[in-house]
């Protein structure tokens, strides 16, 4: 079995499809594409397939990853990419396919951080802070020692310090008609935070109440940590052939 890593996008209407359904979607797409995928044993064999950190419903992405086991010893990655693209809906595009080294950690276990681009939906942007205000708020955050955020999930609620989960945070330079916030934050399976937490905290500094569903979020990429702690894109691991 050879392990390959597939990088794909998720845009447009398809962003309302949940993570489990994206997995189911790929199981079928792989079959339609005729990829020689590896299967587990047993009465109902399933494809050897792992996804990196799940993407929330409503979010778009340019950097999703799926690792696959395939039967070919020397797979033609370009052929696989083309076949997958042909079998896929236009909203999901395969950007790269790489053969992973044998010792590479799987996509789910090795993901450490995600980078995002966040802006406001057009119909809400007038009710949201402008670029100048965002710049000011980001500067304030940079000067803070801690960012205590009250995180509530269905089961638990606790205070966490967002500061230790944020690796960068800035306002995109080429300011168009609305602000675009960039951030790289922890999204490992043990310690992740959501980009919305940071925006919420930021606006909370000046009691700014964002209208519901105003954030348009795109994940740009996912990273693992190198030997020296540096961030390496999951897509930079392995080779194309």
- Give the separation between CA 117 and CA 60, rounded to whole angstroms: 10
**43 or 177: CB nearest other proteins:** 43
Q: What is the 3-state secondary structure (H, E, C) of 124-153?
A: CHHHCCCHHHHHHHHHHHHCCCCCEEEEEC
The distance of closest approach from Cβ of residue 126 to other proteins in the complex, given in angstroms and rounded to an integer, is: 15
Give 94's strand partners: 8
CA-based nearest residue to 141, from 103, 181, 101, 89: 181
**20 or 148: CB nearest other proteins:** 20
Give 113's strand partners: 186, 223
- Cα Rg, the chain, nearest whole Å: 19
**20 or 144: CB nearest other proteins:** 20
The distance of closest approach from Cβ of residue 115 to other proteins in the complex, given in angstroms and rounded to an integer, is: 22
Contact between residue 234 and residue 222 where contact means Cβ atoms under 8 Å apart: yes
The distance of closest approach from Cβ of residue 13 to other proteins in the complex, given in angstroms and rounded to an integer, is: 5
**14 or 220: CB nearest other proteins:** 14
The distance of closest approach from Cβ of residue 228 to other proteins in the complex, given in angstroms and rounded to an integer, is: 40
Is the dihedral angle over the CA atoms 239, 54, 137, 160 positive or is it negative? negative
What are the residues binding other proteins (CB under 8 A)?
Answer: 12-18, 21, 24-25, 27-32, 39, 43-45, 57-58, 87, 89, 91, 121-123, 212-213
- CA of residue 155 relative to chain centroid, distance: 24
**80 or 137: CB nearest other proteins:** 80
Report residue 58: phi and psi, to 5°.
100, -10
**18 or 226: CB nearest other proteins:** 18
- Give the separation between CA 232 and CA 111, rounded to whole angstroms: 10
The distance of closest approach from Cβ of residue 19 to other proteins in the complex, given in angstroms and rounded to an integer, is: 11
CA-based nearest residue to 56, from 227, 218, 175: 218
The distance of closest approach from Cβ of residue 239 to other proteins in the complex, given in angstroms and rounded to an integer, is: 28
């Amino acid at each position: 079995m050879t392990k390959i890593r597939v990088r794909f996008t998720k845009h447009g209407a398809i962003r309302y499809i949940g993570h489990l359904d994206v997995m189911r979607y790929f199981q079928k797409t792989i079959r339609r594409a005729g990829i020689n995928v590896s299967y587990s044993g047993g009465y109902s064999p399933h494809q050897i397939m792992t996804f990196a950190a799940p993407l929330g419903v409503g979010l778009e992405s340019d950097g999703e990853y799926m690792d696959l086991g395939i039967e070919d010893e020397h797979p033609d990655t370009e052929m696989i990419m083309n076949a997958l693209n042909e079998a896929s809906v236009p909203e999901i595009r395969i950007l790269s396919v790489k053969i992973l080294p044998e010792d590479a950690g799987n996509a789910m276990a090795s993901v450490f951080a995600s980078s995002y681009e966040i802006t406001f939906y057009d119909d809400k942007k007038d009710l949201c802070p402008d670029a100048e205000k965002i710049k000011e708020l980001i500067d304030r955050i940079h000067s803070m020692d801690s960012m205590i955020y009250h995180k509530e999930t269905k089961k638990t609620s606790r205070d966490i310090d967002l500061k230790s989960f944020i690796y960068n945070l800035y306002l995109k330079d080429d300011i168009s008609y609305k602000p675009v916030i960039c951030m790289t934050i922890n999204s490992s399976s043990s310690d992740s935070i959501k980009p919305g937490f940071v925006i919420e905290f930021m606006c909370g500094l000046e009691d700014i109440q964002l209208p519901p569903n105003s954030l348009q979020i795109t994940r740009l990429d996912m990273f693992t940590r190198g030997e020296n702690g540096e961030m390496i894109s999951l897509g930079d691991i392995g080779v194309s052939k």
